[in-house]
Structure 1
Amino acid sequence: MPLKDVKVLDLSRLLPGPYCTMILADFGAEVIKVEEPEVGDYIRHYEPKRDENSAIYHSLNRNKKSICLDLKDSEDHRCFLKLAEGADVIVESFRPGVMKRLGLDYDVLKKINPRLIYCSITGYGQTGPYAEKPGHDINYMSYAGLLDLMGERGRKPIVPAAQIADIGGGAMPAVIGILLALLNRSKSGKGQMVDIAMLDGVISWLPLLLPQHYAGTEVIRGESLLNGGYACYQVYETSDQRYLSVGALESKFWQAFCNKIGKPEVIARQGAPKEEQEDLIKEVQAVIKNKTLEQWMEMFSDGEACVSPVLKIDELERNAQIAERRMLKNLPGDSNSKFKEISSPIKLSNTPAAPIRRAPTLGEHTEEIMKSLGVSYHK
């Protein structure tokens, strides 16, 4: 496994940090969740439950170990320092200042372990006037300007169903930052701080929007090419109240789409001005409304027009592409369970992700890990 000899101490909770460390664990890192006694990761207590823990907790914490330490307790504090001496990576998601008050910030830990890579995932980063502000996914998208651009023209912004800032702006940059720091350490022998701000991460998701703004083009919700303003990149309702998506950006795909729906006369209007696009969308919608989703997908099955069904979440398992890529599967030896695990999206030919082990119970590995440190632990 690529990360077989990497030991990660994960003090994070909820979504961004655990998602980051899940990816590291999938590829062989020994990830030890350091959890508060009795309470643990808050996401354990969410509904719906899979057993005594939430279904979401299981999804995010596979392939990890769990120990319970009260970092405000002197004995547990010493145990954590002992763990940190032999760790390669620490991931935490507290607001700036919390780890310093605990006497466990990067400046302290790098003295006992100069090779340590210390990754902090926060909403706004370690610096700036917002550094200590609380926030969640919706807040970071708001400050980044992304939320304002999501939704239909003339209506309020739409909250996305997936956590863009938490995962795309926090967890994934954290993984990349940690791997870059590990690569650098292999050359320099020194660790470093990885400062990940979810607001920064969301702003980095705007490479097609901000350049338009700086070039003098006004970017408005529901009016741009890629946010619902054009007929060739749009969602249409079918006769059975289902939806299909059209991503016919290239002229050849748009031409194929228009011919298939029997509207060759609108091919030349693909790039019509924004003020004409609304009428074009209505014309196409009137045609799409005449057939069911199944009928349309059958019609488009033999051509290239970038047309897809808008699947419901309970249809994913039956989709041939998702099944072929084995993105949803049971735990090994648990083929009868109704619960499916989301597989790693990173497909390596020689060193694939590890088979999924169940998420740990709270403090399950405390005694084992303390014993490996030569610490007598009797709490």
Structure 2
Amino acid sequence: MPGALSGVTVLDFSTLLPGPMATLFLAEAGADVIKVERPGRGEEMRSYEPKWGSDSINFAMLNRGKKSIAVDLKDPASRERLRPLIEKADIVVEQFRPGVMARLGLGYDDIREVRPDVIYCSITGYGQTGPRAAQAGHDLNYIGDTGLLALSCGTTESPVVPPALIADIAGGSYPAVLNILLALRQRDKTGSGAYLDVAMADNLFPFMYWAFGQGQATGTWPGNSDAQVSGGSPRYRLYATADGHFVAVAPLEQKFWLAFCAAIGLEQELVDDTVSPERTTRRISEIIAARTARELQPVLAAADCCCSIVRSLNDAMADPHFAQRGLFARPLTNDHGQEMAALPTPIAASARGEGTAASRAPRLGEHTRELLGPEAE
């Protein structure tokens, strides 16, 4: 059975993370993704460390199942060779600063003259308009500018950098895919294409729905790690064990809270955490700090109280639960014949179809001759 996006052609001008992850998802669903790279070095992520084969592991993870053509976008003759691909492109994804593609003659207005119903998705940090539109930034800047980082950023002595690239993935990749699919559905009904302005910073506000609402409704805005889900409650925080591990404690509902308190033997006078949250937190810290993770794990598991030992990524990949669900069963290969687990994607098995996900990323310019002809090499 073909994938859900079988027959859809994507022309991908994006680099690094947000765009390539979005087009990875589209490729996983059966779309034909053609990655446009600069000749010689290709996109920047190919040169990242650590290397895995000829290119970086980051590039291999994000670009499997795609085709690669090498085109000098600054050269008018080279750009003209893209015309046959533009004519059949259902979707164009780009990630340059605002105005760059237009200066290259590849902006939305240029592309839709050739393909009127194209869906053109631009991914940037701050969007195509507004005072910050041309400003450089990275994930840490976007989450800092939107107030997300301030909700839980550690202390001045030990500031905490989040381990996930939230803006790039949750603010860029996922909204790009969501809106591309909505635009495809709309095109099915109207025959019209669309221009999609995906701003990573804009898309972070839904992740703060609780703080967004609380601040406006009460006039009291959450601060650094002082809210219920950011470490301000005994019921939702990390507690250190005797052997240097952490317990993720999240028994927000009363039934789970009572089960947790009983499991660890918390004194009855401290169970009502509205009386003195600080005392309750301090005592739980003492109890957990006196036990090892190995001792606590079966106790918490038996209590079924939304509490668990924080695992390393390596341990998580060895979890029988994820193995049974097949998350890491798909192989990723490189040009040296090495193999590892491919990055899992959120694409449902029914949407992937059969044989729609190749096991390796393309070599630079591997498909230039095939797609643009021998004179393009």
TM beyond 0.5: yes
Instruction: Determine what percentage of the aligned residue pairs are the same residue.
Output: 40
CA contact (8 A) 2:271 2:280 kept: no
Higher relative contact order (CA 8 A, sep 6+): 2
User: Structure 2: how far apart are the matches of 1:266 and 1:125?
Assistant: 53
1:332/1:156 CA distance change after superposition, 3 Å: closer
Does the residue aligned with 2:375 lie in a helix, a strand or coil?
coil
Matching residue within 81, 92, 95 for 2:94: 92
- Which whole-Å deviations, capped at 9, do the CAs of 1:203-234 have from their partners, x for residues lacking one? 23211111111122231111100000111111
Tell me what 2:331 maps to. 331
- Which whole-Å deviations, capped at 9, do the CAs of 1:227-256 have from their partners, x for residues lacking one? 001111111111111111011000000000
Paired AA for residue 58 in structure 1: A
User: Structure 2: how far apart are the matches of 1:233 and 1:333?
Assistant: 40
Paired AA for residue 195 in structure 2: M
Does the residue aligned with 1:229 lie in a helix, a strand or coil?
coil
Matching residue within 137, 142, 145 for 2:144: 142
**1:98-117 → structure 2 map (5 Å cutoff):** 98-117=100-119
Paired AA for residue 261 in structure 1: I
Q: CA deviation at 1:85?
A: 1.0
CA contact (8 A) 2:332 2:360 kept: no
Structure 1 residues without counterparts, runs of 5 or longer: none
**1:157-176 → structure 2 map (5 Å cutoff):** 157-176=159-178
Q: CA deviation at 1:357?
A: 2.0
User: Structure 2: how far apart are the matches of 1:225 and 1:266?
Assistant: 21
User: Structure 2: how far apart are the matches of 1:145 and 1:270?
Assistant: 28
Tell me what 1:186 maps to. 188
**1:48-67 → structure 2 map (5 Å cutoff):** 48-67=50-69
More displaced stretch, 300-309 vs 169-178: 300-309
User: Structure 1: how far apart are the matches of 2:98 and 2:85?
Assistant: 22
Paired AA for residue 342 in structure 2: E
User: Structure 1: how far apart are the matches of 2:152 and 2:353?
Assistant: 36
User: Structure 2: how far apart are the matches of 1:271 and 1:338?
Assistant: 53
**1:1-379 → structure 2 map (5 Å cutoff):** 1-152=3-154, 157-215=159-217, 216-265=219-268, 268-272=271-275, 276-331=276-331, 337=338, 339-349=340-350, 351=352, 354-371=356-373, 376-379=374-377
- Which whole-Å deviations, capped at 9, do the CAs of 1:312-335 have from their partners, x for residues lacking one? 12212211222122222352789x
Structure 2 residues without counterparts, runs of 5 or longer: none
CA contact (8 A) 2:332 2:340 kept: no
Task: Compute the RMSD of aligned alpha carbons.
Answer: 1.9
User: Structure 2: how far apart are the matches of 1:184 and 1:255?
Assistant: 49
Does the residue aligned with 1:358 lie in a helix, a strand or coil?
coil
TM, length-normalised to structure 1: 0.93
User: Structure 1: how far apart are the matches of 2:351 and 2:213?
Assistant: 39
Does the residue aligned with 2:112 lie in a helix, a strand or coil?
helix
CA contact (8 A) 2:68 2:368 kept: yes
User: Structure 1: how far apart are the matches of 2:280 and 2:157?
Assistant: 20
Paired AA for residue 147 in structure 2: G
Paired AA for residue 325 in structure 1: R
User: Structure 2: how far apart are the matches of 1:133 and 1:261?
Assistant: 51
User: Structure 2: how far apart are the matches of 1:319 and 1:155?
Assistant: 35
User: Structure 2: how far apart are the matches of 1:206 and 1:192?
Assistant: 28
User: Structure 2: how far apart are the matches of 1:307 and 1:72?
Assistant: 55
Q: CA deviation at 1:73?
A: 1.3
User: Structure 1: how far apart are the matches of 2:126 and 2:8?
Assistant: 28
More displaced stretch, 337-346 vs 126-135: 337-346
More displaced stretch, 177-186 vs 213-222: 213-222
Q: CA deviation at 1:268?
A: 4.1
1:338/1:270 CA distance change after superposition, 3 Å: farther
CA contact (8 A) 1:150 1:159 kept: no
User: Structure 1: how far apart are the matches of 2:302 and 2:90?
Assistant: 52
